[in-house]
């Protein structure tokens, strides 16, 4: 964003005040995109430091705010020296207002509400002075650069690239379609991955009250997607049986994504991994069907009955959909 560009002017007109103490200006009462939190926290949640907006070089210091902007080190000086910031008179003062030149020497001088007297304040002053020793003044123009892009210019594309490069937005691996199971089973797995299954707690979040929100299997824990499909005692027994039936080691998952991507960790041939993927999808589907049967039809299937159902369903679907899987029921 250009400093004097249209967007910059719009943001300044809406959010900037002479007393603004945020690196990115934001008016708290403004009901806009940033309402209810500040963008800096948003960046932190994304594990990204907005301090990537660094000044490129050291200029006339007329536009950089000494305490508020990040220009020396990786955090604003107000965060590094909170004791001093509390007693500084002009919190938005520019760097150029904080020193006098004595030949090549810079003499730092701040306007205080009261003289720093406590031990901690003196220590902060000393540290601040030693930090400032590295500063050299040139006559170049002030400028900012966006360190996430080599050209220094901010762009939505560079933010997207930056976020993509950090693992926090890659928590969902692409959903793989498996054509050995019906579309409804694939779609169910996909919706589970997106946490879009209508469990009781999901309904409650949308203000749909269904009475009790506990899991119908164990009647103990709230029915969330992860609990119902992975953690519940009954579900866990189903998974262990399925793992042992597929000749896999004991199966432990922490999320639906673990279930959906488990096949890719197997060092086995393509057909076998696809088969495991299909069976795991059918397992999710059958657990959900058993849950619905229990709630709507009062049928309380045991974990062995659910496992049997998974074996039958997966056999019917896989054999009928895969031309090469000519296998009889006894070998299944």
232 binds Zn ion (CB under 5 A): yes
> According to CB under 5 A, which one of 218, 246, 294, 312 is a site residue for Zn ion?
218
State the nearest-atom distance from the C-beta of 297 to Zn ion, in Å.
18
State the nearest-atom distance from the C-beta of 235 to Zn ion, in Å.
7
State the nearest-atom distance from the C-beta of 38 to Zn ion, in Å.
39
**Cβ distance to Zn ion smaller for residue 215 or 318:** 215
In the DSSP assignment, the letter for residue 287 is H
Please return the burial class of 7, using the count of CB atoms within 10 Å of its CB with bins 0-12, 13-18 and 19+. Answer: exposed
**Cβ distance to Zn ion smaller for residue 105 or 219:** 219
Please return the burial class of 46, using the count of CB atoms within 10 Å of its CB with bins 0-12, 13-18 and 19+. Answer: middle
Tokens read off for 7: 């967007």
DSSP-assigned letters across all residues of 134-200 = T----SPPP-EEETTSTT----HHHHHHHHHHSGGG--SPPPPP-TTS-HHHHHHHHHHHTT----H
Considering only the stretches 18-26, 70-78, 91-99, 226-234, report the one whose residues sit in contact with Zn ion under the rule CB under 5 A.
226-234
Compute the distance between CA of residue 138 and CA of residue 321 in angstroms, rounded to an integer.
73
251 binds Zn ion (CB under 5 A): no
312 binds Zn ion (CB under 5 A): no
State the nearest-atom distance from the C-beta of 220 to Zn ion, in Å.
6
The residues, any chain, with a CB within 8 Å of residue 15's CB and separated by 6 or more, are: 25, 26, 27, 30, 34
State the nearest-atom distance from the C-beta of 90 to Zn ion, in Å.
60
Q: Which of residues 188-217 bind Zn ion (CB under 5 A)?
A: 215, 217
State the nearest-atom distance from the C-beta of 231 to Zn ion, in Å.
7
Number of chain residues interacting with Zn ion (CB under 5 A) = 4
The partner residues of 112 in beta bridges, in order of sequence, read 88
225 binds Zn ion (CB under 5 A): no
Compute the distance between CA of residue 77 and CA of residue 183 in angstroms, rounded to an integer.
57
Q: Which residues bind Zn ion (CB under 5 A)?
A: 215, 217-218, 232
């Amino acid at each position: 964003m250009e400093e004097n560009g249209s967007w910059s002017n719009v943001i300044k007109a809406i959010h900037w005040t002479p007393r603004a103490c945020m690196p990115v200006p934001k008016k708290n009462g403004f009901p806009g995109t940033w309402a209810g939190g500040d963008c800096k926290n948003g960046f932190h949640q994304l594990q990204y430091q907005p301090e990537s907006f660094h000044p490129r070089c050291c200029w006339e210091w007329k536009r950089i705010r000494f305490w508020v902007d990040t220009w020396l080190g990786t955090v604003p000086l107000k965060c590094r020296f909170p004791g001093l910031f509390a007693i500084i008179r002009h919190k938005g003062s520019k760097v150029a207002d904080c020193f006098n030149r004595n030949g090549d020497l810079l003499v730092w001088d701040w306007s205080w509400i009261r003289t720093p007297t406590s031990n901690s304040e003196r220590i902060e002053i000393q540290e601040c002075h030693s930090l400032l020793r590295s500063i050299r003044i040139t006559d170049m123009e002030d400028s900012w650069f966006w360190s996430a892009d080599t050209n220094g210019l901010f762009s939505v594309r560079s933010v997207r690239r930056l976020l993509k490069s950090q693992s926090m937005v890659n928590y969902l691996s692409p959903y793989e379609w498996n054509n050995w199971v019906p579309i409804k089973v694939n779609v169910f797995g996909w919706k589970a991955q997106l946490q879009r299954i209508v469990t009781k707690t999901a309904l409650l979040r949308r203000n749909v009250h269904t009475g009790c929100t506990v899991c119908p299997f164990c009647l103990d824990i709230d029915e969330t997607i992860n609990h119902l499909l992975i953690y519940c005692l009954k579900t866990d027994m189903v998974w262990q049986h399925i793992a042992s039936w597929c000749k896999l080691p004991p199966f432990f998952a922490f999320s639906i994504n673990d279930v959906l991507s488990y096949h890719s960790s197997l060092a086995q041939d393509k057909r076998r991994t696809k088969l495991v993927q299909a069976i795991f999808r059918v397992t999710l589907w059958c657990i959900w069907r058993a849950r619905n049967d229990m709630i709507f039809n009062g049928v309380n299937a045991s974990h062995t009955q659910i496992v049997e159902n998974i074996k039958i369903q997966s056999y019917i679907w896989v054999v009928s959909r895969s031309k090469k899987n000519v296998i009889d029921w006894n070998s299944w």
